[in-house]
Amino acid sequence: MNFLINFFVFIFGLIIGSFLNCVIYRLEKEEKLTGRSYCPDCKHILEWQDLIPIFSFLFLRGRCRYCHKKISIQYPLVEILTGLIFLLIFNFQLSIFNQLSITSFINLIFLFYIASSLVIIFVYDLRYYIIPDKILLPTIIISFLYRFFENLFRWILIENWSLKIENFYPIFNYLLASLIAFAFFLFIFLISKGCWMGFGDCKLVILLSLLLGFPNILLAVFLSFFFGAIIGLGSIFINKKGLTLLEVKRSLGGSLKNKLLTGLKSQIPFAPFLITGTFVAMFWGQEIISWYLHFLIF
């Protein structure tokens, strides 16, 4: 039974991933989401058999049925990624609530929506080096409203809410996390004049903070810089930034950090690292934090 449920959740994620590909493409082209899907090259309207997630790509061997142009590998990758994330979210919810209820189902829909938005932002920033406000800003607003009403209903229905300061702690947690993360990224944005960090990243961490709260947002930010540093250093050492190994060695006195951060901004968008760190912190944050505190103590 659990296998079947997980299978259907994964299939649902694949279908949503297929839709997200459509959103990413039409968002960049500034097209409406209504209307049938078509081939980006020959503009031929696609039939239902061309739109089956993953299987159509494999069956057609990665080429359009009509013009035989190659189909971007982005399409099956986004579908698989969305399916896996939905599967992780579903099992993560079960581990918290033990069983599906109205509350857990609403929270599950909320997390599916946030995850879908983050997948769009991840791919869009990776491809076009910009975080789309049309996706980000509505998601921030919905996340804030959800957190507010989530705590309001908990206070009223579960905790016999009264006007005490401690009853405001849950929403304060998300607001505090948002304030700290935004201030930190805004500081980097201002002192670097946008060279190390874009303002879109500053807005993105507000959304991520409303998702994770405190202290998990700190872990997500740390992991994002950690992943970014690995990719940035790797890019430097394989000379993608135009630096020789001798130049890298000479830069170790202090300018390497500036070159790395500048390279990350100019060559590698930062939102994918933030989103990756967020998902890691979301699913395994408590285990990582517990391990780290245990490591410090012993």
For the stretch 112-134, pLDDT in tens is 999 999 999 999 999 999 999 99
pLDDT value, residue 231 = 83
Place of tokens 């009223």: 156
The yes-or-no verdict on residue 77 having pLDDT over 90 is yes
Is residue 183 exposed (0-12), middle (13-18) or buried (19+ Cβ within 10 Å)? exposed
pLDDT value, residue 174 = 92
| Mean pLDDT value of segment 75-95 | 93
Of 45 and 152, more confident: 45
CA atoms within 13 A on the CB side of 223: 21
Torsion of CA 4, 9, 11, 16, to 10 degrees: 170
Helix count and strand count (H, E) for the chain: 11, 0
Q: Of 41, 36, 11, 2, which Cα lies nearest the Cα of 22?
A: 36
Kindly report the backbone phi and psi dihedral angles of residue 38, in degrees, each rounded to the nearest multiple of 5, phi listed first: -145, 165
Average pLDDT, the chain: 84
Kindly report the backbone phi and psi dihedral angles of residue 23, in degrees, each rounded to the nearest multiple of 5, phi listed first: -60, -45
| Mean pLDDT value of segment 160-182 | 78
Q: Is the preceding peptide bond at 215 cis, omega within 30 degrees of 0?
A: yes
Q: How far is CA 242 from the centre of its chain?
A: 30
| Mean pLDDT value of segment 211-236 | 87
| Mean pLDDT value of segment 84-99 | 86
pTM value? 0.84
* Widest pairwise Cα distance in the chain: 66
